[in-house]
Amino acid sequence: MPAIDKIDARTGIDLRVAAGCQTRHEAVDVEGNYVIAVEEGARYEAFFLMRGQKAQIRVDLLGKNASCDLKVVYLSGSGADNILLTDIRHVHPETFSDQTVKGVLAGTGQARFDGVIRIPFDSQKCEGNQNHRAVLLSKDAFVTCTPELEIYADDVKCAHGSAIGALNEEQLFYLKTRGIPQAEAQKMLIQGFLSEIMPADKIKLIENWMDAHE
């Protein structure tokens, strides 16, 4: 995440979103450890594209109505092992978090996503959502996802889900019956899969990656 420097060496915080502020953060090839602090009424929105890096992202929600929306796409082809660790800390009551992580694996690509949501016992009325989906383009690709909910407060809403699978055969067949060859059809379906969270200007990077991993 070269866009961010450590702004507070003492607390180890890399990015602080000040009370009432809203920030949008986009980065490609995110790597390393990052801590983001979100103050009262502030919002942190991020989109990260990863291509075989290791990143650990911690978001501390420090004041009422602090929220974060973390969207990550990871790509992992032969020889790569993409590791994403997230740690969302609902330090204050009435804080909100969303995480959507989508992965595409090809060849012998590997990936791991471990996401922790922590809600301590006095952080009531918090909401935390985590969703992970991965598409395996080859039988030799491998991905693990371990969600961890550390929830001590009783009046909270939390949800997590993970789905891992191959591309839908029926959809592939439909595209092919319209004359679209396998590689193109796969590319279209992957773009369709990622388009929900992918900024339009980064779609080209996906195409390039798919071309390199056919």
Beta carbon of residue 102, minimum distance to other proteins (angstroms, whole number): 11
Examine residue 104 and tell whether it contacts other proteins (CB under 8 A): no
Can residue 192 be called a binding residue for other proteins (CB under 8 A)?
yes
Q: Quick one: which of 154, 169, 200, 201 contacts other proteins (CB under 8 A)?
A: 169
Tell me the two tokens of residue 80: 């790569």
180 lines the binding site for other proteins (CB under 8 A): yes
Give the E-state strand segments of the chain in sequence order: 15-17, 22-28, 32-38, 43-50, 54-61, 67-76, 81-90, 96-105, 110-119, 127-136, 142-151, 157-165
Residue from 171, 208, 212, 214 in contact with other proteins (CB under 8 A): 171
Tell me the residue type at 25. H
**Residue whose CB is less far from other proteins, 28 or 197:** 197
Cα–Cα distance measured from residue 157 to residue 161, given in angstroms and rounded to the nearest whole number: 14
Q: Which is nearer to other proteins, 33 or 171 (CB)?
A: 171
Q: C-beta of 152: minimal distance to other proteins in Å?
A: 37
- The residue within the footprint of other proteins, chosen from 140, 155, 196, 207 (CB under 8 A), is 196
Please, which residue, 5 or 169, has the CB nearer to other proteins?
169
Among 19, 149, 189, 205, binds other proteins (CB under 8 A): 189
Cβ pair 99, 90 in contact under 8 A: no
Cβ at position 165, least distance to other proteins in Å: 15
12 binds other proteins (CB under 8 A): no
* Secondary structure class of 3 (helix, strand, coil): coil
Q: Is the dihedral of CA 126, 45, 10, 54 positive or negative?
A: positive
CA distances from 173 to 68, 170, 186, 191 (A): 39, 5, 10, 17
How far apart CA 147 and CA 115 sit, in angstroms, is 5
**Contact footprint for other proteins (CB under 8 A):** 168-171, 173-182, 184-185, 188-189, 191-196
